[in-house]
């Protein structure tokens, strides 16, 4: 799509209105959709519906003629059914917002409902450090020929939210969707109903606002406007795939190897069961995922459920993915994960490591937490307490990734022993300390004591995971020392070994 596919903005309000300055205006970007559709032959209501030009929708929505502030419009030269909207159109919309950013208070994108969630998610990543409202809306029933419809209410309310100065509302400087009576974050949205007026919802995040007789914005739910300076990153890499895990998939290696093993694929959104689980048998399925990660592909784990989140590592059937290097998508929607992956892969300035790091972070409020992992030990280590000592310990000083990410709260802090095992008879007691003084005795009465955990003898390798968030909030520093102290639960018995020791911070805004 190029500039020839979009026509220039034209003033659609009464030109006699006094315009104090351009910043009082709202710009509508009309892409098409049901809201502007009607039967191809208006004399034959049964003829197939097509999308009509902006001027027809403008005439049908009477409220546009009495708006109390200037509204301009820009349109795709050929308005589309949203089933035909994709990455090149997202880029075109973003470039319009960039071009006219300084001239308007806010923007309203008029769009079909089928791919609205994808467009909203993609724009949230493309429009970086956004400082003005971008509200997407449409309707389930067309305005052009249906007397009873939801089009006018949706469009007029979206305009009032975008022109927050006139409406005396808090600005919502992010990409959002307004539909029926609620304003929701675009990259948190899901289409849940194919025909009802309440077509969209945000099940893992509260509405940004509601609209009844009055419009109310929830200040606590809205992201703070960025001060970094608005910019766009419109390049998208579409060499990605998204697919569901389902019973029987693991029995069809031709299918999953074609999806995971293709040389053209750079990223995979894996839609898994429940809290992020996959079948672990036969082993070839897991090996295909591991091979994809080793080949440099980004694999992100999202839940098939419409509500809830991935808790990667909670069960053995998801811990294997964590150990492979699959990224936990937490509570991100599949649509947002796919668009985020396209955007991150499309940024040619990022290294492979930086791309994976960005996929683990909340870039535009699309997930609850930003995750930062610090590898403490990357070689095999062993603490042996079978020689009669009361206890043995190992300390490592490291720079903690994410610690300096200002304004964030530590929600979780996980210590993970990857490839861990306890050998010998009986059990061992593992104690974790943060910034333990060099000559201090490793006592649980110290404020730097993060917790203790009993592990039984087990020759096979496992992953031991401990949450030390409470101590981390008090004791974690930009450069911290993590001390692992092990003592036997039975005199003279037990050793703990691991292949990798890592600390992961979960930070919320």
Kindly list the catalytic residues. 34
CA angle, 419 then 485 then 479, to 5°: 85
| Cis amide leading into 368 (omega within 30) | no
Return the structure tokens found at 16. Answer: 């006699």
CB within 8 Å of 189: residues ≥ 6 apart: 116, 117, 120, 121, 177, 200, 201, 202, 333
**How far apart (Å, rounded) are the C-alpha atoms in residues 472 and 411?**
10
Return the structure tokens found at 501. Answer: 């020791």
**How far apart (Å, rounded) are the C-alpha atoms in residues 367 and 233?**
20
Cross-strand partners of 30: 75, 110
Helices (H), 295-333: 316-324
Q: To which H or E segment does residue 184 belong?
A: strand 182-185
**How far apart (Å, rounded) are the C-alpha atoms in residues 454 and 489?**
8
Q: How far is CA 411 from the centre of its chain?
A: 17
Cα distances from 36 to residues 52, 97, 146, 197, in angstroms, run: 6, 21, 11, 16
CB within 8 Å of 99: residues ≥ 6 apart: none
DSSP single-letter state for residue 168? T
């Amino acid at each position: 799509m190029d500039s020839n596919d979009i026509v220039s903005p034209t003033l659609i309000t009464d030109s006699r209105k006094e315009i104090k300055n351009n910043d009082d205006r709202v710009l509508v970007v009309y892409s098409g959709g049901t809201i502007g559709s009607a039967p191809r032959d208006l004399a034959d209501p049964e003829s197939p519906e097509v999308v009509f030009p902006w001027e027809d929708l403008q005439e049908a929505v009477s409220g546009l003629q009495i708006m109390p502030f200037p509204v301009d419009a820009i349109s795709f030269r050929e308005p589309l059914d949203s089933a035909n909207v994709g990455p090149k159109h997202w880029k075109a919309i973003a470039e319009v917002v960039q071009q006219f950013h300084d001239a308007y208070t806010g923007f309203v994108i008029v769009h079909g409902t089928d791919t609205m969630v994808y467009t909203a998610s993609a724009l949230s990543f493309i429009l970086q450090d956004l400082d003005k409202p971008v509200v997407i809306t449409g309707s389930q029933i067309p305005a052009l020929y249906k007397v009873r419809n939801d089009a006018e209410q949706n469009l007029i309310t979206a305009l009032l939210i975008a022109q927050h100065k006139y409406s005396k509302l808090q600005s919502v400087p992010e990409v959002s969707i307004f539909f029926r009576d609620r304003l929701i974050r675009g990259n948190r949205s899901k289409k849940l109903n194919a025909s009802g007026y309440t077509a969209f919802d945000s099940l893992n995040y509260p509405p940004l606002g509601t609209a009844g007789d009055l419009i109310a914005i929830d200040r606590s739910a809205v992201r703070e406007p960025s001060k970094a300076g608005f910019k766009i990153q419109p390049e998208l890499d579409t060499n990605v795939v998204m697919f569901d895990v389902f019973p029987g998939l693991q029995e069809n290696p031709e299918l999953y190897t074609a999806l995971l093993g293709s040389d053209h694929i750079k990223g995979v959104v894996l839609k898994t069961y429940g809290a992020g689980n996959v079948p672990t048998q036969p082993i070839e399925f897991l090996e295909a995922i591991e091979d994809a990660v080793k080949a440099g592909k980004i694999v992100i784990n999202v839940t098939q459920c419409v509500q809830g989140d991935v808790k990667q590592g909670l069960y053995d059937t998801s811990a294997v993915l964590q150990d492979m290097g699959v990224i936990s998508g937490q509570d991100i929607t599949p649509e947002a994960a796919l668009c985020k992956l396209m955007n991150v892969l499309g940024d040619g300035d990022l290294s492979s490591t930086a791309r994976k790091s960005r996929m683990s972070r909340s870039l535009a409020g699309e997930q609850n937490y930003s995750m930062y992992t610090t590898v403490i030990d990357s070689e095999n280590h062993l603490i042996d307490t079978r020689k009669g000592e009361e206890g043995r310990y190992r300390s490592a000083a490291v720079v903690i990734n994410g610690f300096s990410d200002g304004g964030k709260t530590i929600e979780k802090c996980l210590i993970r022993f990857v490839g861990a095992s306890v050998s010998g008879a009986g059990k061992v007691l593992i104690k974790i300390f943060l910034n333990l003084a060099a000559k201090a005795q490793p006592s649980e009465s110290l404020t730097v004591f993060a917790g203790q955990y009993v592990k039984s003898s087990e020759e096979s390798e496992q992953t031991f995971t401990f949450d030390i968030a409470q101590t981390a909030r008090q004791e974690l520093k930009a450069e911290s020392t993590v001390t692992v102290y092990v003592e036997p639960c039975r005199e003279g018995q037990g050793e703990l070994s691991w292949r990798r020791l890592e600390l992961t911070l979960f930070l919320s805004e």
